[in-house]
Structure 1
Amino acid sequence: MNNWNELLVPRERTLNPTELAVGFVAPVTDQGLIAFTGAESATFLHSQLTNDVEHLGQDEVRLAGYCSPKGRLLASFLMWRNAESVFLQLAREIQPALQKRLQMFVLRAKTKASDAGEGQVVLGLGGGQAEAVLQTWFDVLPAKPYSKIDHPLGTLLRVADAFGAPRYLWLATPETAATAVPVLAERLHVGGNAAWRLSEIHAGVPQIAAATQEQFVPQMINLELLGGVNFKKGCYPGQEIVARSQYLGKLKRRTALVSVAAADVLPGVEVFSPADPEQPCGMVVNAAPNGAGGSDALVEMKLDALESADVRLGAAGGPALQFLPMPYVLDKLDV
């Protein structure tokens, strides 16, 4: 088997949360990867992103955001590093423009951005059986969420848990993937990008897409609850507004996990409260099919709408959102 996707891709199907909880593998092809390489890469990115990059260890993984000067998110990243580079994973659809924008601000800094996704396969794994399957190749796995190991067979990132089980991203060469996929396909449910996105949604981890750029201050999508904002680091674009929102209580919005009896829900779709039918009370951040003919989603909304638990998709008379438990404490402070 010379081509890894000859086995996995034809077997992809829409997975439901129960199948994800048992164990799944999904080739992740809708994520881009930027590498910043050079002696001043961490220093440069530290001045641009919402999280601490200068003290990012080689065994760590972090979330981070990139804001406009008005504090609105242009992108969200999964971030890690090795001895040579700092890596930023983001939605592939916005990678070219974001990479170009960040490169514009490099100026004299000793760093250069490049597309690091070429020649690399990204496999997402999770559920109760994933850990045992990965131990076929890895003697040691990352010990906790947001940690990583570098291995001869690739980089293994452990990200936020979902369904009570660890989730991993395995970055491998096509040759390594071609060796591994027969075992993976035999022992785990096989999904695709939608399956991985559904697992991210149930982990409560948002991602900025083209339709949601400049819509949210980081706290609106719970980014600081996930460790994606460091309020003690130095300045970055939009930092003053982000800090003011945190400490002066200017925001009254959060993101919730919901299910809705509607297919093909897309990021950027507005939601409405019947109590105020003329004005949207929020917006879909991410959504994925849930295997039951509907969608599960992360939806940003006003706190009063969240507390009323009566929110509709698309219009005040649209399908009702069914609120699901969040995987972390969602405070309802005026932030």
Structure 2
Amino acid sequence: MNEITSIWPEFLQQQTLTALPAAAAATQPSFFAPLPELGLIAASGEDAASFLHTQLTNDVQNLTAAQARLAGYCSPKGRLQATFLIWKSGDSIFLQLPRELQAALQKRLQMFIMRAKAKLADVTEAHAVLGLAGEAVAAALAPWFPALPDAPYGKIDNQYGSLIRVADADGAPRYQWITSPETAIAAWPLLSSSLQALSAQAWRLSEIRAGIAQVTLATQEQFVPQMINFEVVGGVNFKKGCYPGQEIVARSQYLGKLKRRAVLASVEATGIAAATEVFSSNDPEQPCGMIVNAEADSAHSSLCLLEIKLAATEGGTTVHLGSINGPQLKFHALPYSIIDVTDAELSA
């Protein structure tokens, strides 16, 4: 790591970041958070878009510089190996994913490039990523971005980097600013004068509140995209053509109403690991689902997205964390409606 790329992690080590955002939410609902746990792959070359188009669940071929999209990478059995935020800037297409997955996923994608004129590069260390959320963000970002993307998954590029609006949470806009370490460090004092500087936990919690699931190392190859509502939030394009697992993903839609989905829940527990199983009172011996993502929202409780048999959430059934004797989950409405795509809609 050279001197330029090492300054961002060294800078972050010197900052004091609040760990529990809920404690501060009543007085400071708008925040920014560094996201060093996210990795970044840059795909370049004249065949980069067409290559990724054949690998990912979403349309890459028609991705414009003013857009960002969610996308997944599936195994041949249709199970998600990773979920991405993707965008195009300059001559490259960027794929953002958890850093713990990046090396293996990049190596796997590299295997399939073959004769395509495309290159994949790890550009994580050359960038700083900030997550920003709340109504005060627009004013805080004005020195660098006088105009903001006006809808989720819109993107603006300028000399200060890329600003992507992602899914809203709790009715408030959220953004990612991908920039150079030098720009992020220079912007920090002004940002922190109007926004609270929080840890990445705050951002992960906002992702859960937005209903956006992320595959991690613990949950690789556990879910077809629909099991975490990925097609509902725009991560799957059913008309784009083939990619690994595409037949199974499409068949899951053609079969009709899906029996497993991601739901939002709270529970009186903290330190909950992804892939922790949950159990229902109507079949206490067998798990009915598992935690996808979970974050503490207070000193004693957590908010989580979990994949579950929908039947286990109906008819007065109770669902418990870890075992039937574990703490009971309380379900909440997602910020979007679950609409199953019909056969007619897929073929339209």
The one-character-per-residue Cα deviations of 1:149-196 (angstroms, maximum 9, x if unpaired) are: 111111111100111111011112122112211122222122112111
* Matches of 2:10 and 2:189, distance apart in 1: 9
In structure 2, the residue matched to 1:273 is: 280
* Matches of 2:23 and 2:75, distance apart in 1: 35
In structure 2, the residue matched to 1:320 is: 328
* Matches of 2:184 and 2:101, distance apart in 1: 26
* Matches of 2:23 and 2:189, distance apart in 1: 23
Q: What's the % identity of the aligned pairs? A: 54
Q: Give matches, 1:84-95, under 5 Å.
A: 84-95=91-102
Instruction: State the AA in 2 paired with 1:329.
Output: S
In structure 2, the residue matched to 1:329 is: 337
In structure 2, the residue matched to 1:167 is: 174
* Matches of 1:191 and 1:24, distance apart in 2: 7
Q: Give matches, 1:229-268, under 5 Å.
A: 229-249=236-256, 251-268=258-275
Please tell me whether residue 9 in structure 1 is matched to residue 15 in structure 2.
yes
Q: CA deviation at 1:293?
A: 1.9
Among 265, 280, 289, which residue is 1:282 paired with? 289
In structure 1, the residue matched to 2:346 is: none
Check whether the contact 2:211–2:305 (CA below 8 A) recurs between aligned residues. Answer: yes
TM value normalised by structure 2: 0.91
* Matches of 2:39 and 2:8, distance apart in 1: 24
* Matches of 1:189 and 1:262, distance apart in 2: 26
Check whether the contact 1:284–1:300 (CA below 8 A) recurs between aligned residues. Answer: yes
Please tell me whether residue 311 in structure 1 is matched to residue 309 in structure 2.
no
* Matches of 1:147 and 1:137, distance apart in 2: 17
The one-character-per-residue Cα deviations of 1:14-62 (angstroms, maximum 9, x if unpaired) are: 1118729820110001111111110000100100111110001111010
CA RMSD of aligned residues (A): 2.1
Q: CA deviation at 1:10?
A: 1.5
Q: CA deviation at 1:7?
A: 8.7
In structure 2, the residue matched to 1:40 is: 47
Tell me the secondary structure at the aligned position of residue 179 of structure 1: helix
Q: CA deviation at 1:283?
A: 0.7
Classify 1:163/1:251 alpha carbon distance in 2 versus 1 (closer, same or farther; 3 Å).
closer
Among 93, 105, 110, which residue is 2:112 paired with? 105
* Matches of 2:307 and 2:8, distance apart in 1: 43
In structure 1, the residue matched to 2:124 is: 117
Q: CA deviation at 1:286?
A: 0.6
In structure 2, the residue matched to 1:31 is: 38
* Matches of 1:16 and 1:294, distance apart in 2: 11
* Matches of 2:67 and 2:10, distance apart in 1: 28
Tell me the secondary structure at the aligned position of residue 99 of structure 1: helix
Check whether the contact 1:27–1:192 (CA below 8 A) recurs between aligned residues. Answer: yes
Please tell me whether residue 191 in structure 1 is matched to residue 202 in structure 2.
no
Tell me the secondary structure at the aligned position of residue 264 of structure 1: coil
Check whether the contact 1:201–1:298 (CA below 8 A) recurs between aligned residues. Answer: yes
Q: CA deviation at 1:294?
A: 1.4
Check whether the contact 2:258–2:340 (CA below 8 A) recurs between aligned residues. Answer: no
Check whether the contact 1:4–1:178 (CA below 8 A) recurs between aligned residues. Answer: no
* Matches of 2:341 and 2:158, distance apart in 1: 42
Among 124, 131, 134, which residue is 1:127 paired with? 134
Unaligned residue ranges in structure 1 (runs of 5+): none
Runs of 4+ in 1 over 6 A off after TM superposition: 1-4, 332-335
Tell me the secondary structure at the aligned position of residue 234 of structure 2: coil
Classify 1:261/1:123 alpha carbon distance in 2 versus 1 (closer, same or farther; 3 Å).
same
TM value normalised by structure 1: 0.95
Count of residues in Structure 1 that have an aligned counterpart in Structure 2: 335
* Matches of 1:285 and 1:45, distance apart in 2: 25
The one-character-per-residue Cα deviations of 1:239-294 (angstroms, maximum 9, x if unpaired) are: 00000000113841000111111110111111110110011000101111112421
Check whether the contact 1:73–1:218 (CA below 8 A) recurs between aligned residues. Answer: yes
In structure 1, the residue matched to 2:159 is: 152
Tell me the secondary structure at the aligned position of residue 10 of structure 1: coil
Instruction: State the AA in 2 paired with 1:248.
Output: L
In structure 1, the residue matched to 2:298 is: 291
Tell me the secondary structure at the aligned position of residue 15 of structure 2: helix
Instruction: State the AA in 2 paired with 1:237.
Output: P
Check whether the contact 1:13–1:190 (CA below 8 A) recurs between aligned residues. Answer: no
Q: CA deviation at 1:6?
A: 5.4
Tell me the secondary structure at the aligned position of residue 240 of structure 1: helix
